[in-house]
Structure 1
Amino acid sequence: MIFPKNAIDKLGFLEIKSLIKEKCLSEPGREMVEKIQPQVKLDQIDKFLRQTQEFKDLLMNDAPLPVDHLYPIKPLAEKARVEGSFLGEEEFYRVLLSLRTVYAVIRYFNEREGLYVNLALLFEHLPIETKIVRQIESVIDDRGKMKDNASRLLLDITQQILKSEQEARKRIDQVFKLAQNNGWTADGNLTIRDGRLCMPILAENKRKVKGLIHDESATGQTAYIEPEEVFHLNNKVRDLEFERRREVIRILTELTSELRPHVPLLLAYHGLLSKLDFVRAKALFAIDIEAEMPELSKEAEVNLVNARHPLLLINAKREQQMTVVPLHIRIDEVDRVILVSGPNAGGKSVCMKTVGLLQLMVQAGLLIPADATSKLGVFKQIFADIGDDQSIESDLSTYSAHLSKMKHFSEFANARTLVLIDEFGTGTDPLFGGPIAEAVLEALHKKGVRGVITTHYSNLKVFASNTPGLENASMLFDNVAMRPLYILQVGKPGSSYAFEIAQKIGLHRDILEAAKQKIGTQQKKVDTLLVDLERDKKQVHDTKVAITKRERELETLKNEYQQLNSHLEENKRNLMREAKEQAKQILKDANKLVENTIAEIKSTQADKEKTRELRRELHAAVDKNSEKRTLPNTAAAKQTAEVDEVIAVGDWVKILDADTEAQVLEVAKGNNLILALGDLRTVVKKSKVIKLRGKERSKVVKKHRSMSTESVADFQPEVDVRGMRTEDALRQLETVLDRAVMIGYPTLKILHGKGDGILRKFVRDYLRKYNHVSHFEDEHADRGGDGITYAYIS
């Protein structure tokens, strides 16, 4: 599929595999990574990609997968398969831990049935055979050692050993004490020699103690003697230990025989753990390179949107300085081959290698650092000519090596072949290299290949511009600052900027002028035209960027205007409603007053004095209602006048619509104020507030100070987000952080756990963006280490 074989290395695919290997927890997982190869079956590629995408979603948004112990079960199962063999205590302990991990994983996915459909295929139809675990647990303890009560005989032997050892120790202590009292012992205490407990006796006294001499000191002045009284007891202990070992082997052999029928299931469990480790490593690598799953196509096409070279991206993250310019490129039935030209070190080769590497990654089931809207087909062949493959042993020069590849390309390429050629035509006399390269390109074009080719040859640029299916493209270059922009511009060829770059480097002007005289007039005009075209393209690009930025600003202003207009309409409706209600009430009161007045006049039989008095009361009521109606306008005028006053950070204001006091945190653009309402923050227009002064301000400050004191007393400077989804964890963290800032608390303890480090990464990324967090650090290693973060609030 790939020609030549070293092309996969030159495109950087082996480095990608090495980085994924580092994420594996087990050797079987690393072996699976080593076997990664590009596939050609669309359904298989789709399954691999979806499994990786689901595992990535799991790592970022779900509880950690319980994969603490991934011991390779296969070699242990193969050993247990042999009749008469047995597994050791440590080997059974590894099987036990691995089985616990398998069952925890299966339960994990069973609890999330339907959520990770493609990952569930890894352990489909695998049963949870708890009988195996129970059998092993009845023999092996949690330290990986055999239990003393694994059998009745083993328990009896163990107790006898203990009793005999205690008796031997008691007896040797008595003998040693007697020897000390007689002055026969050397400096030191009882010691072990040849596995036996011995006494240190001075050499001149060794005949005074009956026993077996096991060793002497380097100087010969001390002899290590096992007393005769203890010798037989120690022999008894040794015999009992041999007997215990025979019983242990019998139990292990019996347990292995019980395990033997389950060997096929153990091998299936091994496969599950290896695949899980493998997919997990791919998902962790995808998170590192900010990868997404592209859309797969049945056609032979490439449409990359915001694509970045993964190795460059990782290096940029390490350096924390350089940025990777995204690549946009489309290869389809219309534009089958993209011919990229432009200056040296302008990014032509990186562009070509990015296309090739990302295509290899997708066909190998790896997510790629490009937008999810990207679309890639499946190529049955990938041919690449990159770098210098000269060989002294094979008698191949640089150009001969290139030509041998071109021969293979032209003979075996087809419409399902992706061709990648770097510096097409170089390595020989340009007068001959250019025409040969053009003829090869014409032959490849007739075969309908897809691909990316980089070149400096003008005849290839002209051929591409006159041939349907071939498309010129160039890497943009800032010919004012004399630096590459690493942006691919499809549609026009680019200049090599040879003279401009030479001039910037400082090559003497006379040499440059002589060089210009030596090239043809026509070629000089073409190159000048390309330079001018490049300058125009850059201006157009800059203009497009400026227009896009302006459009975003206008859209923002438009949305703000619509929000303000909606707010004003709402206020207008509220005022109209209140006015109508007030008018109804006034009318109702007026009618009632008129009716009462008429009734009074009738009851007094139209007495003039009484009628005059009632009329005065009626006029007084009318005047009172008129005053009530003008009062809000007066207050509004007063408030409007006060709005124009200068409002600064720290001032206390009253929100007119809500009749609530708040403190100014920030004076933002557009006459907006950011206000603190207790533990909450809100944005309000200046025209909607009035500044508080004097006694009214003091009263509000005193009230809020007492509230703040209560908040400090009740506030817990700790937040536990372990086991939460990322969104829920960040929302909880934001709430507690905001409250800590409002009450002026200096530190916040965040418990996020260790796991795969995904939640810790998102928590710390959020803290970096939070303006009021000055810095953060790990908890002390004895108290949680990097599973806990302390944030310091400024």
Structure 2
Amino acid sequence: MIYPNNASDKLGFAEIKELIKQKCISESGRNLVDKIQPQTRFDQIDKFLRQTNEFKDLLTTDDALPVDHLYPIRALVEKAKVEGAFLMEEEFHRVLLSLKTVYAIIRYFNDREGQYPNLELLFEHLPIEKQIIRDIEMIIDDRGKMKHNASRLLLDLSQSILKAEQEARKRIDIIFKSAQNSGWTADGNLTIRDGRLCIPILAENKRKVKGLIHDESATGQTAYIEPEEVFHLNNKVRDLEFERRREIIRILVELTTKLRPHIPLMLSYDGLLTKVDFVRSKALFALDIEAEMPELSKEAEINLVNARHPLLTLNAGHDRGTIVPLNIKIDDVQRVIVVSGPNAGGKSVCMKTVGLMQLMLQSGLLIPADTHSKMGIYKQIFADIGDDQSIESDLSTYSAHLSKMKYFTEFANARTLILIDEFGTGTDPLFGGPIAEAVLETLNKKNIRGVVTTHYSNLKVFANQTPGLENASMLFDNVAMKPLYILQIGKPGSSYAFEIAQKIGLNKEIIHLAKQKVGNHQKKVDTLLVDLEREKKEIFDTKAAITRREKELIRIKSEYEDLQSYLEENKKTILKKAKEEAQILLKNSNKLIENTVAEIKSAQADKEKTKEIRANLDRSFSTILPKDKKIEKKPIATADLTEEIAVGDWVKIIDSENEAVVLEVAKNNLILAMGELRTVQKRKNVIKLAGKDLKKAAKAGSKTLSAHAAADFNPEIDLRGMRTEDALYELEKVLDRAVMIGYPSLKIIHGKGDGILRKFIRDYLRKYSHISRFEDEHQDRGGDGITYAYL
């Protein structure tokens, strides 16, 4: 039960229903939306919620439901129920399309038996009666017209009419040409008068043509005559058409009679179409507001997690950042939440969100909140919102509030949700505050649940001292002087009256005078609340920053552990491989030694033979064991810093004596390319090559690049799914190779997604000096998911 009757409208429930109606396809579905009312039976609410949730899943994850033709057929079926009545051709066509839709829906769910158990309840035990469709399809074609061969007589009549019309046309053409040759006709061709084809004859010649005059021109100079021969043929056509119409009616009556035994089943089909349209519209609306199914409880409780007012969500569009989610809990411990805080801070929206969510839930609608929210069921929902003064009833604003309070205190119980906006206002605060406190105390003794908004200090103090009541405040940024729209349970909030007045530019003398008029005690309480809120916000911000740091540390720790694990795994692999190689080496050496000893024994200590065997042993060991390279000491070369080095020059690195080509010169640093490798060296660490050394290095470098790098180079790189750092690293390697071998372009596949990877890649390409330009792939071959870079 909702009190007063307009409470649901003030909470915004009528707007919700109107939005759902816009999703309906059929008028019967819209009528069903109008009848939505909060329910109190747990099993019924649970069924409605699950049906909507299953349909939402169906819309997002499954094939489209075949609902192309949701025509309401109840009125047509009721018409067919009357003996002697019959449906017209277009009415049978609508019935046919609707029945095909019904059968397609039933087959759709039969193919998914058990996947949508609650939706299957909509058409449980409904059979598919194909005979109805077969009977209609024998008579009605795809355009909704009766087929010419619906009966033998109808076919004969249709052919006779066609033949008579052709004969009449042929005769009138002959007479018209004869009259033209005789000069009897007026200007113009054959024309239609009174539904008959006529010849335009000059008035002075109208007696020369036998026939019926249907009309004459405005001047009276032309008469429109239907020739006598044609007149009789047209009458014959008219008689045949009357016979054809009588045959059509006979066929329709016969078809309606065949349909009449199936009327109860067809009414069930109509009910199914209406329910499917109804549940579908609820599911589509749930997708619009990103609604979910919360946990349903039999207790009178509310635990909303990240709830968003559905109408505000729709108004904000896709920018979800503008909607601050609401987190609120009402249970046996904190039954009534007393919300205070600044004006325009979100108190009323908070209260209306709770009320609207409860109405939606008990009406079988999903709510825009997290799935682990928990909602109970209330037998009564009482609301006092806005100004209900009435001249007719001789009620002032405050009288209207008091009349509601009287009703609340008399009829409320533990299964009642009470919502009161600006509790106690409308009269002298000296009296309004105590009356509101007394009403709240009475309601609290009845163990009611609810949300109350107020600015009265005595209600904040009362809530702080009374079990079952809990203070809450809407947070306010008193530095930026703007509301944060965040509900904080546990403490009352200041109204920030002086701060807001100062922000909007009210005269300082007026503000100072007002502060003097406020009692010292009240001023201290309000100042304390402001200071507490400021400190609370600082603690909240600090806690949020610490939480972010903790998450970052956890991430870094995880990456470190992964890296350590990777190194450990590789270490074991390398050691294992080394051990295997050592075992093979030892095995081969032992075998060689054993063979050598056997040969020496067989030579019976012959010196020459033994010497030869030892020489063979040394050669064998030289092939098994690695050779020690002799290090030749060479004089250390020094760089000539006066010699200028430019891009394209060949240089030798002093430390390693490797030869490389210069890619870039940046002050004292040189970027060098050694084959496929890229390195950075100080200017003092290289010597510029000239003469024979230059030709030799260039020749070797060109062979290496052209023969090896170019043959092995792939100008296409796929970076999809990579992290940004990994993707840029791989791109840099490919770009460096492309520059070294002189490749003209690269194809970089990065995908579309949110466009983040594409942005970083293109920012990197802009900074890469060897890139002349880049562009999107053709729209048909990937569009902005692929970038072509030209070097």
Q: Same fold per TM (> 0.5)? A: yes
- Indicate how the Cα distance of structure 1 residues 371 and 629 shifts in structure 2: closer, same or farther if over 3 A, else same: farther
SS, match of residue 332 in structure 2:
coil
- Indicate how the Cα distance of structure 1 residues 196 and 517 shifts in structure 2: closer, same or farther if over 3 A, else same: same
Shift of 1:662: 9.2
TM-score normalised according to structure 1 size: 0.82
Aligned to 2:133: 133
- Indicate how the Cα distance of structure 1 residues 667 and 369 shifts in structure 2: closer, same or farther if over 3 A, else same: closer
Question: 2-side partners of 1:430 and 1:502: how far apart?
Answer: 20
Shift of 1:70: 0.9
Amino acid at match of 1:440: V
Aligned to 2:527: 528
Write out aligned runs for 1:71-110 (5 A).
71-110=71-110
SS, match of residue 334 in structure 2:
coil
CA contact (8 A) 1:294 1:373 kept: yes
Question: 2-side partners of 1:114 and 1:286: how far apart?
Answer: 23
Aligned to 2:4: 4
Write out aligned runs for 1:334-345 (5 A).
334-345=333-344
Q: Which has the larger radius of gyration?
A: 2
Amino acid at match of 2:93: Y
Shift of 1:211: 1.9
- Indicate how the Cα distance of structure 1 residues 486 and 168 shifts in structure 2: closer, same or farther if over 3 A, else same: same
Which residues of structure 2 form unaligned runs of 5+? Answer: 631-657, 659-672, 682-704, 706-711, 762-773
- Indicate how the Cα distance of structure 1 residues 519 and 662 shifts in structure 2: closer, same or farther if over 3 A, else same: same
Cα RMSD after superposing both structures: 3.6
- Indicate how the Cα distance of structure 1 residues 308 and 749 shifts in structure 2: closer, same or farther if over 3 A, else same: farther
Question: 2-side partners of 1:33 and 1:670: how far apart?
Answer: 48
Which residue among 674, 681, 686 is the counterpart of 2:727?
674
Shift of 1:669: 12
SS, match of residue 24 in structure 2:
coil
Which residues of structure 1 form unaligned runs of 5+? Answer: 632-637, 653-658, 676-682, 718-729, 751-766, 775-794
Deviates more, 1:141-150 or 1:197-206: 197-206
Amino acid at match of 2:429: P
Question: 2-side partners of 1:576 and 1:513: how far apart?
Answer: 82
- Indicate how the Cα distance of structure 1 residues 451 and 237 shifts in structure 2: closer, same or farther if over 3 A, else same: same
- Residue by residue over 1:718-748, the C-alpha shift from the partner in whole angstroms, topping out at 9 and shown as x without a partner, is xxxxxxxxxxxx9xxx9xxx9xxx9974224
Amino acid at match of 1:42: F
- Residue by residue over 1:219-271, the C-alpha shift from the partner in whole angstroms, topping out at 9 and shown as x without a partner, is 54443322222100000000000000000000100111111111111100000
Amino acid at match of 2:39: Q
Aligned to 2:206: 206
Aligned to 1:402: 401
Aligned to 2:279: 279
- Indicate how the Cα distance of structure 1 residues 546 and 660 shifts in structure 2: closer, same or farther if over 3 A, else same: farther
1:589 partnered with 2:588: yes
Aligned to 1:289: 289
Question: 2-side partners of 1:284 and 1:630: how far apart?
Answer: 78
CA contact (8 A) 2:313 2:320 kept: no
Aligned to 1:781: none
SS, match of residue 138 in structure 1:
helix
Question: 1-side partners of 2:781 and 2:674: how far apart?
Answer: 46
- Residue by residue over 1:393-434, the C-alpha shift from the partner in whole angstroms, topping out at 9 and shown as x without a partner, is 111100000000000000000000000000000001111110
Question: 2-side partners of 1:592 and 1:181: how far apart?
Answer: 128
CA contact (8 A) 2:337 2:452 kept: yes
Aligned to 1:260: 260
1:537 partnered with 2:536: yes
Question: 1-side partners of 2:453 and 2:190: how far apart?
Answer: 82
Question: 1-side partners of 2:221 and 2:395: how far apart?
Answer: 78
- Residue by residue over 1:437-467, the C-alpha shift from the partner in whole angstroms, topping out at 9 and shown as x without a partner, is 0000000000100000000000000000000
Aligned to 1:447: 446
Deviates more, 1:336-345 or 1:578-587: 578-587
Write out aligned runs for 1:546-557 (5 A).
546-557=545-556
- Indicate how the Cα distance of structure 1 residues 487 and 186 shifts in structure 2: closer, same or farther if over 3 A, else same: farther
Shift of 1:212: 1.7
CA contact (8 A) 1:642 1:691 kept: no
Shift of 1:76: 0.6
SS, match of residue 487 in structure 2:
strand
Shift of 1:553: 1.6
SS, match of residue 370 in structure 2:
coil
Question: 1-side partners of 2:238 and 2:189: how far apart?
Answer: 22
Aligned to 2:496: 497
Aligned to 2:690: none
Question: 2-side partners of 1:545 and 1:611: how far apart?
Answer: 84
- Indicate how the Cα distance of structure 1 residues 254 and 87 shifts in structure 2: closer, same or farther if over 3 A, else same: same
SS, match of residue 60 in structure 2:
helix
Amino acid at match of 1:747: Q
- Indicate how the Cα distance of structure 1 residues 143 and 267 shifts in structure 2: closer, same or farther if over 3 A, else same: same
Aligned to 1:772: 785
CA contact (8 A) 1:664 1:673 kept: no
Greater RCO structure (CA 8 Å; 6+ sep): 1
- Indicate how the Cα distance of structure 1 residues 202 and 476 shifts in structure 2: closer, same or farther if over 3 A, else same: farther
Identity, % of aligned pairs?
A: 70
CA contact (8 A) 1:184 1:201 kept: yes
Aligned to 2:119: 119
Amino acid at match of 1:291: A
Aligned to 2:638: none
Question: 2-side partners of 1:7 and 1:460: how far apart?
Answer: 24
SS, match of residue 433 in structure 1:
helix
Aligned to 1:165: 165
Aligned to 1:371: 370
- Indicate how the Cα distance of structure 1 residues 671 and 458 shifts in structure 2: closer, same or farther if over 3 A, else same: closer
CA contact (8 A) 1:305 1:327 kept: yes
Amino acid at match of 2:379: K
Aligned to 1:787: none
- Indicate how the Cα distance of structure 1 residues 488 and 369 shifts in structure 2: closer, same or farther if over 3 A, else same: same
CA contact (8 A) 1:25 1:70 kept: yes
Shift of 1:565: 2.1
